[in-house]
Chains A and B, each alone.
Chain A
């Protein structure tokens, strides 16, 4: 097929069913950084070797998606506007910090990270932006690399992250793109917002409303620390706990996302 037809097909296939052919081009603003391959040792370590799990190289947006960028997305895809998005895909606080369907307002500075977005909405945006959400392992790999900024001291990183987790939420978030840069040049991985990952529901917890104890149930009581790879890694515990508490339609005032791409087409981690 011609490249033009292919482009049309891509847009139609990725923007969701509500506005086929809207034809909006994704925002070019964000830079993608190559995150080099590495190994991740998940906090749930059962069945995983001490050396962790190999994660291939991938590309990750240098900062989270902003309000202004998400506004362009909903402008091009009316079905994802605040009043129209399907209730099975977003809860009632979807984009609640915006003033209107197409108005950001005082609580949503254009350059601040977009929050109050569901996993489904974030996934649709990522597809529209010709990418995807990072996997948990990809995100954790990218977020563990601060040797340059913090002198190769994982304890310093842990403390820094805890400081954010332990502070109260700000009503209006600061702009994205100014946080500490990782060794790969990715910013704001810690200290700005939580971020959606593609497989957030891989945390096999007792989190579901009427659930029972699962293999990761230890994440929710003290006894389970015995199952964890590093019980003193409070920051990782908290990220996994948060992911475990989520459902795909949930939107949170502190939860945003960023876009990932495969390092080369067809060579992904998924």
Chain B
């Protein structure tokens, strides 16, 4: 955003004296104490390159140039209808057709000729505010572009760092809430320390009229946005964008760097990778690795962080916003799959397991009042509802194809444990599950939370899972069967599978 430096005016309503006193916005300065960023510019014209950008989670290659260049950037703004979660669609406003927009990588001292092209099918004018730009509105003023038109502006990259860019057209909150953000990395002149692998991860939230998981095309809810109460908090633009086949992949022994951005529009991220410690953090996306050994780093809305870690052991590491309900219930969950040999010194695997049940630890769920009475549904309707319930509540752990996560979350696909005992399965979904279970010959020892599903939801989701993913149940799970299990549990407090 623009600073308070007096600058030339394009407008009349400026007191005469202020106008006369106005000075250019580009004031000589020495960002970051690194000397004049434009000092190594040659006297002649700069070599011209077309900038190659990368789609998340990919990161453009590190810059090997050690002298400035003029870079041509073409970026298209496009309003597209795409998947936000399974069964849920949203009209995203995007840079480059995806959320987040592509990652740009340039070098301090480079000159950028930026072409912003607004697709003819856009309803909105758009612009771009690059936090890396020193100048009015970070380019927003010069890039304001009607549908079907293009704007060009140029800037010199003065300050190295990892910067957010976003659309800043009024109402700016809605343009960001609909998906218009991305990252631009301005490398220091001598580059960043080398690592083996780099990824681009950007958190953001979505405000839909329907609740989390509600199927269909979901309109933007201005009311929820104003209350900062999103239905979705996601990495890289949709629920599941970084899980399953889309997980980030690396190998044991590699050094890994994540360029983490937060598009907001409202929430600050407590970014954490479960089971890893960040060896270095470039706090808030600056160019100094100013922290070591960090568990969770704050990523402000409209800000960033760079985190480095050495991968010592294999496994699936879960990326979360450690404001943890966002991870469990709103989608802020990604995966880093590290392959390679075990290192039992660093991590032994489970050595012992004891049940811990403090006195009075049982939780009583209070039935919700006021909900419409539930009824038995016809088979097809039941299974369709079950799919929605599954997508919204189960895929974070059990995955989209119910294949689970080896060593962490058991598969439901082709699951002997699931199919062996219908009443037990109802009890697990109703009450959660703690302790060791064996599924398809492999032992799992984790915690499945109590999900607070209605009896109708439980009947639906079990009917769906038991007839899909290679599970071949001929019967459905009825509401009556679920109620019977609930009644039995109520008669015998402390029972169930807790």
**A contacts B directly (C-beta below 8 A):** yes
Interface set of A (CB-CB < 8 Å, partner B) = 91, 93, 158-159, 162-169, 171, 194, 204-215, 217-225, 231-232, 234, 237-238, 240-242, 244-247, 250-255
Q: Which residues of A contact B171 (CB under 8 A)?
A: 225, 231, 234, 237-238, 241
Complex partner residue of B173 from A93, A222, A246, A250, CB under 8 angstroms: A222
With A and B bound together, what is the CA distance between A245 and B150 in angstroms?
11
Q: Which residues of B contact A93 (CB under 8 A)?
A: 120, 148
Q: Which residues of A contact B79 (CB under 8 A)?
A: 168-169
Q: Is the CB of A169 within 8 A of B136?
A: no
B384 at the interface (CB under 8 A from A): no
Q: Which residues of B contact A232 (CB under 8 A)?
A: 222, 226
Q: Which residues of B contact A166 (CB under 8 A)?
A: 91, 174, 178, 219-220
**A-contact 0/1 string along B125-166, CB 8 Å cutoff:** 101010000001100111011111101110000000000000
With A and B bound together, what is the CA distance between A244 and B120 in angstroms?
17
Q: Is the CB of B219 within 8 A of A167?
A: yes
Q: Which residues of A contact B11 (CB under 8 A)?
A: 204, 212-215
B348 at the interface (CB under 8 A from A): no
Q: Can you spell out 14 A-B residue pairs with CB atoms less than 8 angstroms apart? A: A164-B123, A167-B123, A167-B217, A169-B123, A207-B125, A210-B153, A213-B10, A218-B170, A220-B169, A220-B172, A221-B137, A234-B174, A241-B124, A247-B146
**Do A217 and B141 form a contact, CB below 8 Å, given A168-B79, A238-B171, A242-B146?**
yes
Q: Which residues of A contact B137 (CB under 8 A)?
A: 206, 213, 217, 220-221
B interface, how many residues as a size bin? 35 or more
Q: Is the CB of A220 within 8 A of B123?
A: no
B2 at the interface (CB under 8 A from A): yes
Query: Within the complex, what minimum Cβ distance (angstroms) separates B94 from chain A?
Result: 11
Q: Is the CB of B91 within 8 A of A167?
A: yes
Query: Within the complex, what minimum Cβ distance (angstroms) separates A170 from chain B?
Result: 9
**A-contact 0/1 string along B331-347, CB 8 Å cutoff:** 00000000000000000
With A and B bound together, what is the CA distance between A76 and B150 in angstroms?
33
B383 at the interface (CB under 8 A from A): no
Q: Which residues of B contact A247 (CB under 8 A)?
A: 146
**Do A241 and B169 form a contact, CB below 8 Å, given A213-B137, A221-B1?**
yes
Complex partner residue of A241 from B7, B149, B170, B226, CB under 8 angstroms: B170
**Do A240 and B170 form a contact, CB below 8 Å, given A210-B142, A217-B141?**
yes
Complex partner residue of A242 from B8, B125, B222, CB under 8 angstroms: B125
Q: Is the CB of B141 within 8 A of A237?
A: no
Name A's interface SS: loop
With A and B bound together, what is the CA distance between A207 and B222 in angstroms?
25
With A and B bound together, what is the CA distance between A255 and B141 in angstroms?
23
Q: Which residue in chain A gives the minimum CB-CB distance to B137?
A: A221
B81 at the interface (CB under 8 A from A): yes
B13 at the interface (CB under 8 A from A): yes
Q: Which residue in chain B gives the minimum CB-CB distance to A92?
A: B148
Q: Which residues of A contact B144 (CB under 8 A)?
A: 205-207, 220, 244-245
Q: Which residue in chain A gives the minimum CB-CB distance to B144?
A: A207
Q: Is the CB of B91 within 8 A of A211?
A: no
Which 6 pairs across A and B sit closest by C-beta, in order of nearness? A245-B125, A206-B141, A245-B146, A212-B10, A219-B170, A237-B171
B43 at the interface (CB under 8 A from A): no
Q: Is the CB of B10 within 8 A of A206?
A: yes
**A-contact 0/1 string along B167-211, CB 8 Å cutoff:** 011111110001000000000000000000000000000000000
Q: Is the CB of B10 within 8 A of A214?
A: yes
**A-contact 0/1 string along B435-464, CB 8 Å cutoff:** 000000000000000000000000000000
Q: Which residues of A contact B323 (CB under 8 A)?
A: none
Docked complex: B214-244 residues within 8 A CB-CB of A: 217, 219-220, 222, 226
Q: Which residues of A contact B173 (CB under 8 A)?
A: 222
With A and B bound together, what is the CA distance between A55 and B121 in angstroms?
34
Q: Is the CB of A163 within 8 A of B136?
A: no
Complex partner residue of B172 from A210, A213, A221, A251, CB under 8 angstroms: A221
Q: Which residue in chain B gives the minimum CB-CB distance to A204?
A: B11
Q: Is the CB of B8 within 8 A of A165?
A: no
Docked complex: B90-139 residues within 8 A CB-CB of A: 91, 120-125, 127, 129, 136-137
Q: Is the CB of B220 within 8 A of A162?
A: yes
With A and B bound together, what is the CA distance between A166 and B208 in angstroms?
11
Q: Is the CB of A244 within 8 A of B125?
A: yes
Name, among A220, A225, A234, the residue most crowded by chain B CB atoms within 10 Å (CB to CB): A220
**A-contact 0/1 string along B379-411, CB 8 Å cutoff:** 000000000000000000000000000000000
With A and B bound together, what is the CA distance between A171 and B173 in angstroms?
27
Q: Which residues of B contact A224 (CB under 8 A)?
A: 170
Q: Is the CB of B125 within 8 A of A251?
A: no
Q: Is the CB of B9 within 8 A of A212?
A: yes
With A and B bound together, what is the CA distance between A167 and B146 in angstroms?
17
Q: Which residues of A contact B120 (CB under 8 A)?
A: 93, 252-253
Complex partner residue of A168 from B80, B127, B146, B149, CB under 8 angstroms: B80
With A and B bound together, what is the CA distance between A247 and B144 in angstroms?
12
Q: Is the CB of B146 within 8 A of A206?
A: no
With A and B bound together, what is the CA distance between A232 and B171 in angstroms?
9
Query: Within the complex, what minimum Cβ distance (angstroms) separates A36 from chain B?
Result: 29
Query: Within the complex, what minimum Cβ distance (angstroms) separates B8 from chain A?
Result: 6
Query: Within the complex, what minimum Cβ distance (angstroms) separates A219 from chain B?
Result: 4
Q: Is the CB of B121 within 8 A of A222?
A: no
Q: Is the CB of A245 within 8 A of B145?
A: yes
